[in-house]
Amino acid sequence: IGLTILLVGLGVLGYFNLQQKKTSNKLLQEKNQQLKFTNKKLIESEEHLTELNATKDRFFTIIAHDLKNPFNALLGFSELLLNNFVKYSKEQSEEIIKTIFDTSQSLYKLLENLLQWSRSQTGGITYNPELFPINKQVRQEMELLSHLSEKKNLKIVNRVEESVVVYADVDLVSIIIRNLLSNAIKFSNPQGKIKITAVEENSMVAINVADSGIGMGKQEINKLFRVDESFSTKGTANEEGTGLGLILCKEFTKKNGGKIYVNSQKGSGSTFTFTLPISKSGINA
């Protein structure tokens, strides 16, 4: 009997020890899960702060340098024309006025992108998706930028079918097309060709803007679409830029449920592609 009681006692003690170990292990697992979750949140917070700092630095760089230089050019040429208007010939005056006009256009584009970027960073961008034919937006942006393409005698071919419909925000898509087409014009050689196409791929439409310009190497491509990289290259007619337009393209494409990427090779031109959903259900596909 004594031995039986001893064995029962040992069994009960062992059972309680086992239960205590299970409880302790469960508590440890819960603590580990909490620590993993906390670490994940800390990493995400650190990445967000790094991105915010990079955004702030980029913003001030643009204001201090890219925004200041065009204003200096406007002031300089305006003063030159003002002080020498009577002395200059008609041709000389026209040349200076043309420079002032070109600089003003470049400055306006920069301010427009800067404003859009600022709104996107502060949550001021509205997102109102709807079904619409992408061809219409392509034609509108081609017309809007025709004065730039005509200067280089570029041929822009719109091969987007009227039947291609996307589900996205019209205004945001217009900004994407405008920036990509503007870039294609900027880096195209005179008498070059730009082709815009759209291909349906499952639940998405891939819109391609292809030029036959100067192209890029892998190192340059890796710096695109990044707010922490101050990367910009002059165009074939020495057009200035900040790289801000492509950052906007990436943000607005993502907001519409799509992706953006580029294929390019030095001396062989570039093809920028962004995708948009065909329907509302395609956003999460």
Domain boundaries, the chain: 129-285
Q: What does the angle CA 220 – CA 223 – CA 226 come to, to the nearest 5 degrees? A: 155
Q: Please give the backbone phi and psi of residue 223, each rounded to the nearest 5 degrees, phi first.
A: -95, -10
In the predicted model, what is the mean pLDDT of residues 241-270? 89
Q: Is the pLDDT of residue 281 over 70?
A: no
Number of H helices, E strands in the chain: 8, 7
DSSP conformational letter for 194: E
Crossing angle of helices 134-144 and 170-186, in 10° steps, is 50
Confidence of residue 227 (pLDDT cuts 50, 70, 90): low
Confidence of residue 277 (pLDDT cuts 50, 70, 90): very high
Nearest to residue 258, comparing CAs of 195, 184, 201? 201
Q: Please give the backbone phi and psi of residue 85, each rounded to the nearest 5 degrees, phi first.
A: -60, -40
pLDDT tens sequence across 48-92: 566 656 656 656 555 655 566 677 778 888 988 889 888 889 898
- At CB < 8 A and 24+ separation, what contacts does 114-121 make? 114/59, 114/62, 114/67, 114/244, 116/175, 116/248, 117/59, 117/244, 117/247, 117/248, 117/251, 118/59, 120/248, 120/251, 120/252, 121/55
Task: State residue 73's pLDDT score.
Answer: 76
Task: State residue 60's pLDDT score.
Answer: 59
Task: State residue 59's pLDDT score.
Answer: 63
The amino acid at residue 245 is: G
- Rounded to two decimals, what is the model's pTM? 0.68
* Poorest-pLDDT segment among 136-145, 175-184, 217-226: 217-226
* Poorest-pLDDT segment among 96-100, 214-218, 232-236: 232-236
HSE-CB for 98 with a 13 A CA cutoff = 7
Q: Is the pLDDT of residue 7 over 70?
A: no
Task: State residue 68's pLDDT score.
Answer: 67
Three-state DSSP string of 155-175: EEEECCCCCCEEEEEHHHHHH
Say which residue, 1 or 167, is predicted with more confidence.
Answer: 167
CA distance 173 to 249: 9
Q: Please give the backbone phi and psi of residue 243, each rounded to the nearest 5 degrees, phi first.
A: 85, 0
pLDDT tens sequence across 18-38: 777 777 777 778 888 887 877
Task: State residue 229's pLDDT score.
Answer: 66
In the predicted model, what is the mean pLDDT of residues 211-229? 85
Q: Is the pLDDT of residue 192 over 90?
A: yes
CA distance 147 to 180: 16
Beta bridge partners of 157: 195
Percent residues over pLDDT 90 in the chain: 37
In the predicted model, what is the mean pLDDT of residues 141-151? 89
User: What is the CATH class of 129-285?
Assistant: alpha beta
Output the average pLDDT for the chain. Answer: 83
Question: Would strands 193-201 and 155-158 be described as parallel, antiparallel, or unpaired?
Answer: parallel
Confidence of residue 176 (pLDDT cuts 50, 70, 90): very high
In the predicted model, what is the mean pLDDT of residues 197-203? 93
In the predicted model, what is the mean pLDDT of residues 222-243? 76
User: Which 3 state secondary structure label does DSSP give 275?
Assistant: strand
What residue has token string 């239960």? Answer: 19
Q: Please give the backbone phi and psi of residue 128, each rounded to the nearest 5 degrees, phi first.
A: -125, 85
Task: State residue 153's pLDDT score.
Answer: 95
